[in-house]
Chains A and B, each alone.
Chain A
């Protein structure tokens, strides 16, 4: 174990996989010479050379298309988007090509590409840079979606993503990059997709979270504890595949559930999770399934408006109190 930042854990995962497998390479804007906008790829070009850490022109459709093609040709590219908001111009490459080629070729062509980069809200980055778009990718068959909440998960899930033969949407949270955590140094440490973690056990209400909302829910759980309510917190880790087994087992225990996300509530990840709880766990429910999410507006720049648009600890506590009332 070593104490390191979330961003360092991601870098370690990529470096280990590049050592292990010569077909792994990195491409993206400013990933090489500039060593990454968030310093995630720091030192990697110096270590692995320009052929394996490739600076690209400012064209997301070009980055995604090149990476998808390279993956189809047998390499294992890690394509970085400077933020996931910029990936919108690459949607055709991701949705219509990377996600579908294995299916359309009858399994003859694999596409082991990882699209990664910062997602999430905050830091006064305003409407075009501060948004969470995971539901867009969850919606598409053929894509896997991972959203790590801790440094250890960042490493374990990214290594799994690189080894996975399918295209993976790997959404990091800019607000977590500097967070430290204990990370296993074992180069064989991977976290398989589709296995959620119960990060805090509780008896009265289940808080379902992923990415940054995990720490928000853990803080809420501490406050709820002081109010006499025992909250269980689940970190989903990946949205596709979605580990409903762990969620349902928890709901069977607590009978009340709040699903949280940073993105807008309309047709978000929480809506899908809540629907599945209704379909599969109906008889275990003692209260309506509630969702906590972002305000239904483009992200405001003004600090106070921004913080009221992003779901926080108080929002989670209020929802937990409603379902346990």
Chain B
């Protein structure tokens, strides 16, 4: 008897919705054969079977949202093998019966209640708190069974992760939806948020609440870069290079020069400098924001970056992005120049340390070298920085690097 569990299909995935079962009870399943369609925050994906056998019980109904790691079905060796009852961590369950003392913790499964003390403080052991931090579990959602006083101990956190009956919460979640203000608002049509909108709400709220943002704006003279673009596109038949490709290439070269920007806060004591440069491109679609990632850009040429970006654009348009396509970003570029936006500031995509917001390249009158007025195409970029890892000086040097590269764009071809 195998348990089939909700797989983790990308960074930050904590739960998934079972859109459709592709196999029913009694069906034979081969290894790697798709058995269900799972909808995550980011995409719809087919879930392959890890073991061969027969589906003997389906636990998660279509449309149901369950936590990563929760059992969604059972696979038997024969079509009529009896499914197991609940899957509880065996050793703990045995001891619970032995001592007949942890009944309340057991009851808590499925709708788990925390065990606050009189003062409202949740009793938990130091080890349980450490584990909860490491595993991204909100300790207030875990039922405590320890010490005869309902203290949350390490085994409770592990059980919560294993069964995921307690929904894990990473970092602060969007606070608004919890307290409904339906009654206070003027009348209107209520529509439930899509999973993607919920994910955007959660991620941006988390970012703004936990990352101390500051912003640096840099004007860039784009005349030379735009001229280069015209000649490149004339030569590279059928491979349209965009302004954004030039910006991404400039960012990659600047990140190579200033690796301090290509990092993330690990915890209060640690920052991780990433080995590779994985640039996310924020892409608005009709049903929300997607950020496909161009992996390992550090050694890619402009042409390779342009090709990779084009491939991701096609996948995004066709709704074919997989969770892997949107995982492991280390830096993000967001461009609203095509809408005529002159400049804007973007919200950092956690756990990254910075995001570059790119405005339109538009003609502006400026003072030329001889004191005369001349029209030049100017573009403004805004770097949003996590002040825990990137200071003003580092951010400014990083932007100077980008400016220098785009104003002398032949360097981008080096």
Specify whether A and B are partners.
yes
Given A283-B126, A325-B101, does the pair A288, B147 have CB atoms closer than 8 Å? yes
Q: Which residues of A contact B98 (CB under 8 A)?
A: 228
A301 at the interface (CB under 8 A from B): no
- Residue in A closest to B149 when the chains form the complex, CB atoms: A325
Interface flags, B83-112, vs A, CB<8A=1, else 0: 000000000000100110100000000000
- Residue in B closest to A323 when the chains form the complex, CB atoms: B147
Partner of A287, one of B99, B101, B130, B146: B146
By DSSP majority rule, is chain B's interface helix, strand, loop, or mixed? helix
- Residue in A closest to B145 when the chains form the complex, CB atoms: A325
A301 to B393, CA, bound (A): 78
Partner of A285, one of B99, B101, B127, B148: B127
CB of A322 within 8 A of CB of B147, answer: yes
CB of A287 within 8 A of CB of B147, answer: yes
Q: Which residues of A contact B126 (CB under 8 A)?
A: 282-286
By DSSP majority rule, is chain A's interface helix, strand, loop, or mixed? loop
CB of A287 within 8 A of CB of B125, answer: yes
CB of A286 within 8 A of CB of B95, answer: no
CB of B154 within 8 A of CB of A325, answer: no
Other A-B contacts than A255-B125, A284-B126, A287-B147, 5 sampled, CB-CB below 8 A, are A228-B98, A283-B129, A285-B127, A325-B101, A325-B147
Min CB distance, A299 to chain B, in Å? 32
A56 to B370, CA, bound (A): 110
CB of A325 within 8 A of CB of B130, answer: no
B67 at the interface (CB under 8 A from A): no
B128 at the interface (CB under 8 A from A): yes
CB of A283 within 8 A of CB of B127, answer: yes
A287 to B125, CA, bound (A): 6
Which of A286, A287, A325 is packed against the most chain B CB atoms within 10 Å?
A286
Partner of B153, one of A283, A284, A287: A287
Min CB distance, A232 to chain B, in Å? 16
A284 to B151, CA, bound (A): 15
- Residue in B closest to A285 when the chains form the complex, CB atoms: B126
A255 to B131, CA, bound (A): 12
A282 to B153, CA, bound (A): 13
- Residue in A closest to B94 when the chains form the complex, CB atoms: A228
Q: Which residues of A contact B147 (CB under 8 A)?
A: 287-288, 322-323, 325
Q: Which residues of B contact A287 (CB under 8 A)?
A: 125, 146-147, 151, 153
Interface flags, A210-242, vs B, CB<8A=1, else 0: 000000000000000000100000000000000
Interface flags, B113-139, vs A, CB<8A=1, else 0: 000000000000111111000000000
CB of B148 within 8 A of CB of A255, answer: no
Partner of B127, one of A228, A286, A323: A286
A284 to B128, CA, bound (A): 9
Which of A288, A322, A323, A325 is packed against the most chain B CB atoms within 10 Å?
A325
Q: Which residues of A contact B125 (CB under 8 A)?
A: 255, 285-287
Q: How many residues of A contact B (CB 8 A)?
A: 12
A288 to B154, CA, bound (A): 13
Given A228-B95, A325-B146, A325-B148, does the pair A284, B127 have CB atoms closer than 8 Å? yes
Partner of A286, one of B99, B128, B148: B128
Q: Which residues of B contact A283 (CB under 8 A)?
A: 126-127, 129-130
Which of A228, A284, A287, A322 is packed against the most chain B CB atoms within 10 Å?
A287
Q: Which residues of A contact B148 (CB under 8 A)?
A: 322, 325
A284 to B131, CA, bound (A): 10
A282 to B99, CA, bound (A): 27
Partner of B99, one of A284, A288, A323, A325: A325
A36 to B95, CA, bound (A): 53
Q: Which residues of B contact A325 (CB under 8 A)?
A: 99, 101, 146-148
Instruction: Provide a sorted-by-A list of 10 A–B residue pairs whose CB atoms are within 8 angstroms.
Output: A228-B98, A283-B129, A283-B130, A284-B127, A285-B127, A286-B126, A286-B153, A286-B154, A287-B151, A325-B101
Q: Which residues of A contact B95 (CB under 8 A)?
A: 228
Partner of A255, one of B99, B129, B151, B154: B154
Q: Which residues of B contact A288 (CB under 8 A)?
A: 147
A40 to B99, CA, bound (A): 49
Q: Which residues of A contact B127 (CB under 8 A)?
A: 255, 283-286
Min CB distance, B384 to chain A, in Å? 34
A228 to B98, CA, bound (A): 11
- Residue in A closest to B124 when the chains form the complex, CB atoms: A286
Q: Which residues of B contact A255 (CB under 8 A)?
A: 125, 127, 154
A147 to B346, CA, bound (A): 67
- Residue in A closest to B155 when the chains form the complex, CB atoms: A286
A284 to B125, CA, bound (A): 9
A158 to B98, CA, bound (A): 47
Min CB distance, A204 to chain B, in Å? 11
A283 to B132, CA, bound (A): 12
A122 to B22, CA, bound (A): 74
A284 to B130, CA, bound (A): 8
A282 to B124, CA, bound (A): 12
CB interface residues, A 234-292, toward B, < 8 Å = 255, 282-288
A283 to B133, CA, bound (A): 12
A285 to B126, CA, bound (A): 6
- Residue in B closest to A251 when the chains form the complex, CB atoms: B127
Min CB distance, B361 to chain A, in Å? 53
A284 to B101, CA, bound (A): 24
Min CB distance, A132 to chain B, in Å? 29
Q: Which residues of A contact B130 (CB under 8 A)?
A: 283
A116 to B126, CA, bound (A): 41
- Top 6 A-B residue pairs of the complex, sorted by shortest distance between their CB atoms: A286-B127, A286-B125, A283-B130, A286-B154, A285-B126, A286-B153
Q: Which residues of B contact A286 (CB under 8 A)?
A: 125-128, 146, 153-154
Min CB distance, B149 to chain A, in Å? 9
Min CB distance, B42 to chain A, in Å? 34
Min CB distance, B378 to chain A, in Å? 54
A286 to B154, CA, bound (A): 6
